[in-house]
Amino acid sequence: MDDDGDPKQETPKQRPRDSLGEGQEAPDYLSAQPYASSNGLTTPSTPGLSRSGSTSDLSAFEGFGGENFPPLDRLTMFDVLENFALPQRLEKMQTALQQQAEKVRVQRRKLTTRALSSKNVVVEEWRKRVPSTPDEQLDRYRKRMKETVDRLGKRWNDQKIVSLKEKVSFVTAVLNIFISGYLIGAFPEYFHYWYTAQLAYYMPIRWYTYHKIGYHYFLADLCYFVNLLLVLSIWFFPQSKRLFISTYCLAFGNNAVAIAMWRNSLVFHSLDKVTSLFIHIMPCATLHVLVHLIPRSLQESSFPAIASIRYSPSTAPEHYSLSAMIIWATLPYALWQLSYHFLITVRKRPQIAAGRPTSFTFLRRSYKNTVLGKFVLGFPDALQEPVFMGIQYTYALLTMLPCPIWFWYRWASAGFLMIVFTWASWNGANFYIEVFGKKMEKELESLRREVARMAKSPELGGDDGLGSQVGSPLGSPAGPEGKEQSGLDGTLEGGNSSALDLGPPAKVDGDGATLEHRASGSRGSTGGEAGTPSAEKNVRFSSDSYGSSVGIGESAKSK
């Protein structure tokens, strides 16, 4: 049969794409349609079953994420994996929000604290400036005076311990001079015992004190080394002539002249100054006694080196000349200088650079404006210490030049010791008159300024800081208790008065208010206007009181 007449041959079903007209595309069932949404929130509508209400409720979700979410056929594995990072993003956002909230809380606390502080300042300033009652000002005055007395009492108590030390030092120094003079004149054979006992007393105190304040590098100076040599010569090696002569030259040379170089002074109440003077002058006094004052028999038995040198013939080797003295004194000096350089200057260089003082740094600072100081400072830093060491050795040699005179002639040695001791006494006199006197003058000046400040204080003078006067114990024409007195001489008319009753009582009207205080409301002053008797009396009293206080300070200063 023909195709048209064959009943079994069916016409193939036309596919949707074939049924479309030219220029039309096949519908995409995965894309959004009027009857189906791409996100699956809606389904194809069924005729007769659709409700307009449901369509309107879901219409808001049809366009959600249309731009951000691609169609399902375009999704990739990376899009799926990206969703797993969502909790981390949420956690980061939460952390950022928490940090921002913490910043806001901190800022709020700062603002609250600043506001409270400003409020307290404003309230305190307002309390100072707003006129207060006389009772409040009296309480404030009493509180201020109590604080001043407590502060002075604390300073006084702190000074008690210091004063006790100064008293002990004063007594010790005076007894030292008395006992030393008595032993030199009456019992010279025991003087070296007295010297050793004093050395055992002063040295531990000096060691502890200097370690406490950081001055312990001074304990390695030559003066302490000379005292060590003298102890060795007296108690351990009395037969060593070379040790004795080197000790003698260094003691009468470097130690004695150092009293003038280091400005040692005889200040009885200062244990530090007394100790410094003892270290420099007592070795010389001890050697003077051992060489010139003790008998020959004791020298031969206890100090054979001294007897061998002193009573030897001029041609004997032990009859030391100046050159021999300098040579033998140079050896222990060189030992000390090299030891000091390597153990202190080199080994402790970081501590010295950090500010720990030594004799070199002290002299460089003290004599920097002198010719010798400028000469040393003119060299580079690396050469200043070697130059200083050379100058110090030259100074030691120069001080040794007259040592043969001090050794062979008794009265020359005594005269030299008298000059050195007089120099130390002169330095002590300068300290007491100039330094100590200026210190007391500064304290009196500080007291005078304190009195002036209290006299001019707004709280005590009645000035509230706003140009008005308020009633106060010192500025009011009426005393705090309202008791009568005729004048400034303290003659009472209406009974006894306390020390704060500084004027006549205020006049009281019928309702109990003072006329002066009531009048102050109109003229802004409770002390009375200029020219009134009460105002003149207040001014006269304030000037007299202040003048008497200043007069006390000036008279003490002149004395």
Residue pLDDT, tens place only, 136-179? 777 777 787 778 777 767 766 666 666 788 888 899 999 999 99
State whether 213 and 301 are in the same domain. Answer: yes
- Mean pLDDT of the region 222-250: 95
Residue 367 included in any domain? yes
Residue 61 has pLDDT above 50, yes or no: no
- Contact residues for 294 (Cβ-Cβ < 8 A; gap 6+): 188, 189, 303
Which pLDDT does position 543 carry in this prediction? 42
Residue pLDDT, tens place only, 86-120? 777 788 888 888 888 899 999 888 888 888 888 78
Bigger pLDDT: 279 or 538? Answer: 279
With vertex at residue 170, the alpha carbon angle to CA 167 and CA 175, rounded to the nearest 5 degrees, is: 125
Residue 461 near residue 455 (C-beta atoms within 8 A): yes
- 514 beta partners: 508
State the residue for tokens 């105190």.
Answer: 205
Bigger pLDDT: 59 or 330? Answer: 330
Range of the domain at 194: 188-447
Residue 188 has pLDDT above 50, yes or no: yes
- Mean pLDDT of the region 39-51: 44
Which pLDDT does position 198 carry in this prediction? 95
SS (H, E, C) 386-419: HHHHHHHHHHHHHHHCCHHHHHHCHHHHHHHHHH
Residue 417 included in any domain? yes
Residues in the chain: 559
State whether 124 and 250 are in the same domain. Answer: no
Which pLDDT does position 340 carry in this prediction? 92
**Highest-pLDDT range among 136-145, 219-228, 482-491:** 219-228
Residue 11 included in any domain? no
State whether 200 and 315 are in the same domain. Answer: yes
Which pLDDT does position 331 carry in this prediction? 94
- The tokens of 384 are what? 């200043």
State whether 373 and 234 are in the same domain. Answer: yes
Residue 28 included in any domain? no
Residue 278 near residue 202 (C-beta atoms within 8 A): yes
- The tokens of 425 are what? 């006494």
State whether 321 and 393 are in the same domain. Answer: yes
State whether 240 and 373 are in the same domain. Answer: yes
- Contact residues for 233 (Cβ-Cβ < 8 A; gap 6+): 240, 243, 244, 247, 305
Give the C-alpha separation, 400 to 545, whole Å: 64
Residue 155 included in any domain? no
Of 94, 141, 123, nearest in space to 459 by CA: 141
Residue 157 included in any domain? no
State whether 239 and 377 are in the same domain. Answer: yes
Q: How many CB atoms lie within 10 A of CB 491?
A: 9
Q: What is the sign, positive or negative, of the torsion defined by CA atoms of 308, 314, 316, 322?
A: positive
Give me the number of domains the chain comprises.
Answer: 2
Give the C-alpha separation, 61 to 9, whole Å: 49
Give the C-alpha separation, 339 to 219, whole Å: 13
State whether 312 and 236 are in the same domain. Answer: yes
Give the C-alpha separation, 434 to 502, whole Å: 41
Residue-wise burial string across 381-403, b where 16 or more C-beta atoms lie within 10 A, e elsewhere = eeeebeebbeebeebbbebbeeb
Instruction: Band the pLDDT of 510: cuts 50, 70, 90.
Output: very low
Instruction: Band the pLDDT of 68: cuts 50, 70, 90.
Output: low
State whether 201 and 105 are in the same domain. Answer: no
Domain limit, last residue, from 109, 131, 153: 131
Q: Of 188-202, 253-267, 338-352, 455-469, which range is least confident? A: 455-469
CA 71 to mean position of chain CA atoms: 77
Give the C-alpha separation, 455 to 549, whole Å: 10
Instruction: Band the pLDDT of 501: cuts 50, 70, 90.
Output: very low
**Torsion-angle region of 263 (φ positive above 0: left; ψ -120 to 50: alpha; else: beta):** left
Q: What is the sign, positive or negative, of the torsion defined by CA atoms of 258, 216, 427, 281?
A: negative
Which pLDDT does position 352 carry in this prediction? 85
Domain limit, last residue, from 447, 467, 484: 447
DSSP 13: P
Residue pLDDT, tens place only, 380-436? 888 888 899 999 999 999 999 999 999 999 999 999 999 999 999 999 999 888 877
- The tokens of 158 are what? 């702190």
- Mean pLDDT of the region 325-345: 92
**Torsion-angle region of 10 (φ positive above 0: left; ψ -120 to 50: alpha; else: beta):** beta
308 CB burial (10 A radius; 0-12, 13-18, 19+): middle
Residue 154 included in any domain? no
Residue 353 near residue 217 (C-beta atoms within 8 A): no
Give the C-alpha separation, 465 to 474, whole Å: 16
DSSP 510: T
State whether 203 and 109 are in the same domain. Answer: no
**Highest-pLDDT range among 289-303, 460-474, 488-502:** 289-303
Residue 46 has pLDDT above 50, yes or no: no
Which pLDDT does position 473 carry in this prediction? 43
Residue 445 has pLDDT above 60, yes or no: yes
State the residue for tokens 């509180």.
Answer: 143
Which pLDDT does position 247 carry in this prediction? 96
Instruction: Band the pLDDT of 362: cuts 50, 70, 90.
Output: confident
Residue 413 near residue 292 (C-beta atoms within 8 A): yes
C-alpha distances (whole Å) from 500 to each of 453, 459, 463, 506 are 18, 15, 18, 15
Give the C-alpha separation, 453 to 311, whole Å: 75
Which pLDDT does position 348 carry in this prediction? 87
Of 481, 531, 523, nearest in space to 501 by CA: 481
State whether 249 and 109 are in the same domain. Answer: no
DSSP 73: G
For the chain, what percent of residues have pLDDT higher than 90? 34
**Torsion-angle region of 23 (φ positive above 0: left; ψ -120 to 50: alpha; else: beta):** left
Residue 133 has pLDDT above 60, yes or no: yes
| Biggest CA pair distance of the chain | 176
- Contact residues for 20 (Cβ-Cβ < 8 A; gap 6+): 26
- Mean pLDDT of the region 24-43: 46
Residue 509 included in any domain? no
Q: How many CB atoms lie within 10 A of CB 251?
A: 27
Residue 466 has pLDDT above 50, yes or no: no
- Contact residues for 375 (Cβ-Cβ < 8 A; gap 6+): none
- The tokens of 193 are what? 């015992």
Give the C-alpha separation, 248 to 305, whole Å: 12
Q: How many CB atoms lie within 10 A of CB 258?
A: 22
Domain limit, last residue, from 103, 131, 159: 131
State whether 305 and 374 are in the same domain. Answer: yes
Give the C-alpha separation, 543 to 549, whole Å: 10
- Contact residues for 330 (Cβ-Cβ < 8 A; gap 6+): none
Q: What is the sign, positive or negative, of the torsion defined by CA atoms of 31, 37, 41, 47?
A: negative
